[in-house]
Structure 1
Amino acid sequence: MTDTLPTDSLPSDIRWMQLAAPVLALLAVLLLVTAGGRWLAQRPWWDWRQIRIEGDVERNSLATLRANALPHLQGNFLTLNLAQARKAFEAVPWVRHAQVQRVWPGLMRVKLEEHRAVALWDGRGDWGEPAPERALLNSHGEVFHANLGDVEDENLPVFAGPNGSAPQVQRLWMRLQGSSQRLGERVTRLELSGRGSWRLAWASGAVVELGRGSEDDLVQRYERFLPHALAVAQRFHTSVAGADLRHVEGYALRLTGIGVNPNPNPKAITRKP
Structure 2
Amino acid sequence: MNKTLQLTIIISLLVLLLVVAMMSGLIQSDRWRVTQLEVAAEYKRITPEQLRLMVAKTPERSFFRLNAEQVKSNIESMPWVRYAHVVKQWPDTLRITLKEHQAVAIWNDNELLNQSGQVFKVDAVSQLKALPKLFGNDEDSKATLESFNRFNQLLQPVGFEISQARVNERGAWELILRNGLQVILGSEKHEARILRLAETWEELLAASDRLPELVDLRYSNGYVVRWRENNELTEQLLSFAHNEMG
Secondary structure, counterpart of 1:256 in structure 2: strand
More helix by share: 1
* TM-aligned CA deviation for residue 116 of structure 1: 0.8
Stretches of structure 1 lacking an aligned partner (at least 5 in a row) = 1-29, 123-129
Is residue 182 of structure 2 the alignment partner of residue 210 of structure 1? no
1:235/1:65 CA distance change after superposition, 3 Å: same
List per-residue Cα deviations over 1:193-240 (Å, max 9, x = no partner). 122211111112221111112xxx311111112332442223312112
The alignment's TM-score, normalised by the length of structure 2, stands at 0.80
**d(CA) in 1 for partners of 2:80 and 2:222?**
45
Between structures 1 and 2, the one with greater strand share:
2
CA gap 1:176/1:43 in 2 versus in 1, 3 angstroms: closer
**Distance in structure 2 (CA, Å) of the matches to 1:38 and 1:62:** 38
CA shift in 2, pair 1:103/1:248, >3 Å: same
Task: Tell me what 1:157 maps to.
Answer: 132
Q: CA deviation at 1:43?
A: 4.4
Report deviation, 1:59: 1.7
State the match for 1:47 in structure 2. Answer: 33
| Structure with larger Rg | 1
Query: Secondary structure in 1 aligned to 2:44?
Result: coil
Please give the per-residue CA displacement for 1:33-60, whole angstroms capped at 9, x wherever unaligned: 4893483332422221111222222221
Partner SS for 1:225? helix
Q: Decide whether the 8 Å contact of 1:210 with 1:218 is kept in 2.
A: yes
Moved more, 34-43 or 197-206: 34-43
CA distance in 2, matches of 1:174, 1:40: 59
CA–CA separation in structure 2 for the residues paired with 1:35 and 1:64 = 36
Is this contact kept in 2: 1:230–1:239, CA < 8 A?
no
| Aligned counterparts, 1:213-224, within 5 A | 213=188, 217-224=189-196
Match of 1:237 in 2: 209
Q: Which residue of 2 aligns with 1:148?
A: 124
- The match for 2:146 is 171
TM-score (structure 1 length as normaliser) = 0.73
1:65 lines up with 2:51 in the alignment: yes
**Aligned sequence identity (%):** 26
Of 192, 195, 209, the match for 2:170: 195
Matched residue count = 224
RMSD of equivalent CA atoms: 2.7
CA distance in 1, matches of 2:194, 2:104: 22
Whether the 8 Å CA contact 1:73–1:88 is kept in 2: the answer is no
